[in-house]
Chains A and B, each alone.
Chain A
Amino acid sequence: MVLRMFWVILLAAISGVPGLAEDNATEIVRAAIDHWRGDTSYSEFTMIIHRPDWERSVSMLAWTQGDDRSLVRVTSPARDRGTGTLMRDNNMWSYAPKINRVIKIPSSMMGQSWMGSDFSNKDVSRADDIVDLYEHTLLGTSEDDGHVVNEIEAVPLEDAAVVWGKEVLLIRDDHVVLEHRFYDQDGELIKLLRSLEVGEMGGRSVALRQRMINTENPGEWTEIQLDAIEYDVALSDRLFSLSNLRNPRN
């Protein structure tokens, strides 16, 4: 055991800790995603879609379970009330009460905007891809507000269904993602998700206000304000079913 420790330290000293750093970086990302979702969660939030000539805000409820199930339902404005999105595994369904129809989002629409925001359907449904489909490297650490911030570069694997050249995450030591930057394959910043406000809620530190900014159109952004969140709530399996998406019983 002691011998093994010795070897690890020696190797690390020689090679500048690449392997170790990589595992470490992956762990940091995984911990951040787990922290953000919790095992189960219930949250209330408001999404503000901002454009140069108009702004619109939508209030929603969301339930999540593990990393592959979530349900989002709109509560206001009144004309959108009841609109819902269900994500299960890698699939996504949308329910529009006005036409009383559940529509499965086809693969062709995964790249399109979710409810008119700057998030794509894929951003919303496949958030945990960042752990499995990328190689992570710890670029460096810095101090911020008494916390250590890890800067991690995530490069998609060769056959990953990801268009970005690389992504850079700033993750605080209490697992809050401060910034998530998306670069194209020429290394140009395309869009970024920034946490504007971090605080305690539901017993954890979380980003209370996040903004998705499109760097090519600075006047367009989408903000998500967390109004309330509870972690480790008891959720029934039935919650994430198509019939519940259509006829809410929760």
Chain B
Amino acid sequence: MRLLRIVATLAWRNLWRNRRRTLIMVAAVSVGVWAMIFMNALMRGMVDDMVRSGIESLPGHVQVHRLGFRDDPSINNLLPLNDAELAAKLDAAGLVAWSSRINVPAVITSERESRGVTLYGIDPERERKITFVPNSIVAGRFLEGVSDKGIVIGRRLLDALETDLGKRVVVMSQDPDNEIADRGFRIVGVFEAKLESYEETMVFAGKSTVQRMLHVADRVTEVAIMSDDYRFVEQTVQTVRDKLGADVEVLPWTELNTYLASMLTVMDGFALVWTIVIFLALSFGLVNTLVMAVFERVREIGLMLALGMRPFGILAQVVIESLLLLLMGLALGTLLAWLSILPLQSGIDVSAVADGMEMFGSSSVLYPKLTMADVVLANVVVLGLGFIASLSPAWRASRYQPIEAITKV
């Protein structure tokens, strides 16, 4: 213990014998650590945003369909249970929120244009807790009940159809007998979404109105269910499966949108790879600094050995010197990362590359997300691998023969 204290004191003082070199090394380490944490926060924020908006537009953490609906999302694949049966079973299950809906491919037509869309017949009250649309209305209002005769469409679709709030559009689809089902709707609300494709392809109308239009009485195609946290949905899936029986497909969002789910896994791997790559660059500088420090002090090390210091003491001295260096760099780098992320938490506007971001489902504003796990990862990797990297120069320093070392010019 006493040896360690002496060695630590020696290491600390040695560190400041060449002030400039030490400061440069501390700066290098802190910039490296800053880059690790900052980049990871940025990527985390992006992936988190993708997952959230992906879930909001699915929507729901868990969805129920008839078997085969996902392969052929047509009106023929209605859920075997009607609204009342679903309500009886799901209200008793103690879920955070759930909503049944109809979604079918449809065509929306104005006087001048027509577009292919997905028509959602929803229950506005229940949907409020699940999807983003009620909170994204920029003109007019959201639907007011299941029998609302209005329609809510996206800003871009509104522009594409050359129509306007308060005007009528015609929505056409097919009923279960493959007969044309169509109806006029007045546009009562316009929404904006983070992703342009949602604005172009999603239209919302009252559930009962859509059921009447499609001649499906009180049947629906889909149930969306929320759980407490999108990371832990297995429990909810199990509860719903138990309630609804085996002839429906109950799937968590990780299976509904496997792309999003795999993004989350890839992100964890990416964080580690990125951290190690930066460290590798750092470690050359670190090892180089240590080798130089040892080389300058060959005679001094020989003298200490000759005076009776154990080789272990020399080894410890170099390793501690390296760890002190890294600790200073880490503290500074982490602080730097925290300080630089703090003012950016309200979002970084990258709309210049919005099209590219949209391609993989991210919006044009990035919200960096600092997580404890990433900070710990960066610090542990740097300290751990730094320790291993400094072992080699330290080992060499401890193996000097006292006579040779002292007489070395």
* Chain A residues close to B by CB (< 8 Å): 89-91, 104, 106-108, 110-111, 156-165, 184-185, 190
Contact = CB atoms under 8 A, between A and B. Distances in A.
A91 B180 contact: yes
B216 interface: no
Contact of B111 (A160, A161, A163): A163
Interface string B158-197: 0000010001111111100011111111100000000000
B392 interface: no
A162 to B, nearest CB: 6
Contacts of A184: 111-112
Contacts of B179: 89-91
Contacts of A163: 109-111, 168-170, 184
B111 A158 contact: no
A110 B174 CA distance: 12
B114 interface: yes
A162 B116 contact: no
Contact of B182 (A91, A107, A157): A107
B149 interface: yes
A104 B107 contact: no
Contacts of B167: 185
A162 B185 CA distance: 9
Interface in B114-154: 114, 116, 149
Given A162-B184, A163-B169, A185-B167, A104 B178 contact: yes
Given A158-B186, A185-B168, A110 B111 contact: no
Contact of B170 (A158, A161, A165): A161
A163 B185 CA distance: 9
B369 to A, nearest CB: 42
Nearest to A89: B179
A164 B111 contact: yes
Contacts of A161: 170-172, 182-184
B292 to A, nearest CB: 74
B179 to A, nearest CB: 6
Contacts of A157: 184
A107 B111 contact: no
B107 A108 contact: yes
Nearest to A112: B114
B172 A159 contact: no
24 contacts: A89-B179, A104-B178, A107-B107, A107-B180, A108-B172, A110-B107, A111-B109, A156-B168, A156-B184, A158-B168, A158-B184, A158-B186, A159-B184, A159-B185, A160-B183, A161-B170, A162-B168, A163-B109, A163-B170, A184-B111, A185-B111, A185-B167, A190-B111, A190-B112
Interface string B60-84: 0000000000000000000000000
Given A158-B149, A162-B184, A107 B173 contact: yes
B116 A108 contact: yes
Interface of B: 105-107, 109-112, 114, 116, 149, 163, 167-174, 178-186
Contacts of A110: 107, 172, 180, 182
Contacts of A165: 111, 168
Ranked nearest first, the 8 interchain pairs of A and B with the lowest CB-CB distance are A161-B182, A107-B172, A184-B111, A107-B180, A108-B107, A185-B167, A161-B170, A111-B114
Contacts, number: 68
B145 to A, nearest CB: 16
A124 to B, nearest CB: 14
Given A107-B107, A161-B171, 14 more contacts: A89-B179, A90-B179, A107-B181, A107-B182, A108-B172, A110-B182, A111-B109, A111-B114, A156-B184, A159-B149, A160-B184, A162-B168, A163-B169, A185-B111
A89 B183 CA distance: 16
A157 to B, nearest CB: 8
Contacts of B169: 163
Contacts of B178: 104
A235 to B, nearest CB: 24
A111 B186 contact: no
A165 B169 CA distance: 10
A72 B168 CA distance: 32
Nearest to A184: B111
B174 A106 contact: yes
Contacts of A106: 174
A161 B109 CA distance: 9
Give the interface centre of B149, B163, B169, B180 by most chain A CB atoms within 10 Å. B180
A90 B111 contact: no
A158 B179 CA distance: 22
Given A90-B179, A159-B184, A184-B111, A107 B149 contact: no
A107 B214 CA distance: 12
B183 A159 contact: yes
Contacts of B106: 107-108
Nearest to A157: B184
Nearest to B161: A163
A162 B182 CA distance: 9
A107 B172 CA distance: 6
A108 B117 CA distance: 10
Contacts of A111: 107, 109, 114, 172
Give the interface centre of B105, B170, B173 by most chain A CB atoms within 10 Å. B170
B147 to A, nearest CB: 12
A107 B180 CA distance: 5
B220 to A, nearest CB: 20
A104 B112 CA distance: 24
Contacts of B173: 107
Nearest to A133: B184
Contacts of B182: 107, 110, 161
Contacts of A158: 149, 168, 184, 186
